[in-house]
């Protein structure tokens, strides 16, 4: 038998690089897949690993390069990595780096602090209209509104039991994919302006809240919408906590001052709650994914 085309590497390294320029932060968010090929007959045929640069090393290299070289663009980052793998190991003849870059737009907030972002072109607007011949129920909303604060988020003081390992943090990334449904008091409203206002207040409260937990941020987001949109009676929010773990770069002799993160996609904390006006009847179901 003959060994045909083969390649190996670590796929889908989700690297987030924050660059802090005073109170203005910049973000680069990539999904990087490394595929190496070269003198790999032995590892397949005899089991010798002597020519193998481990997939684990390729992953570490992605995160270390994010720190050392920064991420100017997907192409520049891919070029630096490919050159490193091919130049660094005689057994590696070809490196193919595939990159996806996720675009973030800045959420502009009053004041000098600029560390809030919204993922571009993600969200979907939703609506559910119910009429039983007498009564109307109009629930508007959105889903997949992805937002991120690169600072002004901490999480401390929580319960600890024998299974708790989470370290307390006074500075973390807070990121979530907002799903929101809001119920209107009447079937007669200016739907588009109200949608725009609700969305703007969700973003404004997310960006403007110094967060002690995602639960607290959620409550502020819902409250801000009710305070500013008098025609809305009730709002329900479902916020997956999209964890960003600080990468340990110490083994490579590098510091990580909240600059390089691994964006983990699962499992995720799921924080959900309804905020209502006093006297309003709770009608949006807890499992509102059925609505959106």
**Closest separation in Å from C-beta 202 to ligand URC:** 17
Does residue 262 carry a catalytic annotation? no
* DSSP H helices in 106-228: 191-208, 214-228
Give the single-character DSSP code of 288.
G
Shortest distance, position 155 Cβ to ligand URC, whole Å: 5
Comparison of 134 and 165: residue with beta carbon closer to ligand URC: 165
Catalytic one among 25, 184, 201, 243? 243
Nearer to ligand URC, 215 or 258 (CB): 215
Q: Which is nearer to ligand URC, 141 or 240 (CB)?
A: 240
Question: CA nearest 283: which of 127, 77, 81, 137?
Answer: 137
From the CB of 213, what's the least distance to ligand URC, in Å? 4
**Annotation-wise, does 172 bind a ligand?**
yes
- Using the minimum distance from each CB to ligand URC, give the nearer residue, 60 or 209: 209
- Please indicate if the annotation marks 20 as binding a ligand: no
Q: Is 56 annotated as a binding residue?
A: yes
Per the annotation, the verdict on 54 as an active-site residue is: no
10 is catalytic: yes
In the bound complex, what is the minimum distance in angstroms from residue 286's beta carbon to ligand URC? 17
Selected catalytic residue, list 10, 84, 115, 201: 10
Q: Of 136 and 245, which CB lies nearer to ligand URC in the complex structure? A: 245
Grouping H, G, I as helix, E, B as strand and the rest as coil, residue 28 is strand
Binding site for ligand URC (CB under 6 A): 155, 166, 213-215, 241, 269
Within 10 angstroms of residue 118's Cβ, the number of other Cβ atoms is: 20
In 3D, which of 232, 259, 234 has the Cα closest to residue 244? 259
The nearest distance, CB 2 to ligand URC, in angstroms, is 51
Helix, coil or strand: residue 120:
coil
- Of 55, 109, 126, 223, the active-site residue reads 55
By residue count, the chain amounts to 292
Q: Strands, DSSP E only, in the chain? A: 13-21, 24-38, 92-101, 104-106, 116-119, 124-131, 136-149, 174-184, 232-241, 244-246, 260-263, 269-276
55 appears as a binding residue in the annotation: yes
Kindly give, in sequence order, each residue whose CB lies less than 8 Å from that of residue 92, ignoring residues fewer than 6 positions away. Answer: 36, 37, 38, 53, 85, 86
CA angle 109, 112, 114 (to 5 degrees): 60
Other CB atoms within 10 Å distance of the CB of residue 218: 25
Binding residues for 5-hydroxyisourate: 55-56, 155, 172, 215, 241
Q: Which residues are annotated as a binding site for urate?
A: 55-56, 155, 172, 215, 241
Active site amino acids: 10, 55, 243
Indicate the annotated binding residues.
55-56, 155, 172, 215, 241
């Amino acid at each position: 038998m003959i060994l045909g085309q083969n390649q190996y590497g670590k796929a889908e390294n989700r690297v987030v690089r924050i660059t802090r320029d005073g109170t203005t932060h910049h973000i680069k968010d990539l999904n990087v897949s490394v595929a190496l090929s070269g003198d790999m007959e032995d590892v397949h045929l005899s089991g010798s690993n002597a020519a193998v640069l481990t997939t684990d090393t390729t992953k570490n290299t992605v995160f270390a390069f994010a720190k050392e070289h920064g991420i100017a663009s997907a192409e520049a980052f891919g070029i630096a990595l490919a050159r490193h793998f091919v130049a660094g190991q005689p057994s590696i003849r070809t490196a193919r780096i595939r990159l996806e870059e996720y675009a973030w737009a800045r959420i502009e907030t009053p004041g000098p602090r600029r560390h809030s972002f919204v993922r571009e072109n993600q969200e979907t607007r939703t609506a559910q209209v119910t009429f039983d011949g007498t009564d109307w129920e109009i629930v508007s909303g959105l889903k997949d509104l992805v937002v991120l604060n690169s600072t002004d988020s901490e999480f401390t003081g929580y319960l600890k039991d024998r299974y708790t390992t989470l370290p307390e943090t006074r500075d973390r990334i807070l990121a979530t994919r907002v799903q929101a449904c809001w119920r209107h008091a009447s079937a007669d409203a200016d739907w588009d302006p109200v949608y725009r206002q609700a969305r703007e207040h969700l973003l404004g409260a997310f960006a403007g809240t110094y967060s002690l937990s995602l639960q607290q941020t959620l409550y502020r987001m819902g409250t801000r919408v009710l305070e500013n949109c008098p025609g809305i009676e009730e709002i329900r929010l479902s916020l997956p906590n999209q964890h960003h773990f600080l990468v340990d770069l110490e083994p490579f002799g590098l510091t990580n001052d909240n600059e390089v993160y691994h964006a983990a996609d699962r499992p995720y904390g799921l924080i959900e709650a309804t905020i209502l006006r006093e006297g309003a009847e709770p009608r949006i179901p807890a499992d509102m994914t059925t609505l959106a």
